[in-house]
Amino acid sequence: MVPAVTAPHLQEPVISELYSPSRVFSWNELQGMAFDGILLPLYGKSYASPGMAITHRLRARAAALTVPERIRTKVVAGRLTAAWIYGCAKPPEHLSLLVDAKHRISSLRGTTPCSLHEVRLGQMDVVSLGGMLVSSPLRTAADIALHVETNRALPALRRLLAREELGIKLRLLVLAVEAAPRVPHKRRALATLAQLVSSEL
């Protein structure tokens, strides 16, 4: 039995490349600067400078700022939201947040527009980026294969596998899905991964 993950201490980083409503700029002012082309929308109420490299950390911070601080240490950005943070999917309309089974989902509902999924998380399944807990690249890919319909999963999986810095190997991903406990869409997930295997041949 994998022990339930314990959230590492999350420091609230100051990322100078990210602009969000604060004592310096109001949201209206940020929207005005975006309209004038001075800033580019990143996610939610967060903006970045044109020409700025949009990193995993920057996306994660923008996502974190849409999650109420009181629940930020209890949720993990996962699935296609995590894939977006890693630069491998489109920005999500609503955050996909994982909640470890030791937390009660009912206490978190209604806090922000998002999809909450109760899961079991191991110690190696979560990383901390920009003040947000994010599912690890391998856990992200396995969850997408298992829980996202094939036509949306395949593009994200191809991008995740293509990013060498994320360290995901297709064979390891297949093993991770095979090792998953009984879940309704496991057979479909393996069929999705089989399409990736055949495309590599």
Phi, psi of 42 (to 5 degrees): -110, -65
What Cα–Cα distance (Å) separates residue 141 from each residue in 49, 126, 135, 163?
Answer: 30, 13, 9, 12
Over 90: is that where the pLDDT of 42 sits?
yes
Other C-beta atoms closer than 10 Å to the C-beta of 143 total 26
Length of the chain: 201
Q: What is the pLDDT of residue 46?
A: 94
Tokens of 38: 């001075």
Model confidence at 89, pLDDT cuts 50, 70, 90, reads very high
What is the β-pairing status of strands 40-43 and 18-19?
A: unpaired
Distance CA 12, CA 183 (A): 35
Over 70: is that where the pLDDT of 200 sits?
no
What Cα–Cα distance (Å) separates residue 44 from each residue in 21, 79, 93?
Answer: 11, 18, 10
Of residues 84 and 184, which shows the higher confidence score? 84
Over 70: is that where the pLDDT of 88 sits?
yes
Distance CA 95, CA 112 (A): 9
- Residue indicated by tokens 């690890």: 136
Over 50: is that where the pLDDT of 3 sits?
no
Q: What SS3 class is residue 17?
A: coil
Residue of 153, 151, 145, 149 whose CA lies nearest to 180: 145
Over 60: is that where the pLDDT of 2 sits?
no
Give bridge partners of residue 100 from the DSSP assignment: 119
Q: What is the pLDDT of residue 132?
A: 94
pLDDT in tens, 111-162: 567 888 889 998 899 999 999 999 999 999 999 999 999 999 999 999 999 9
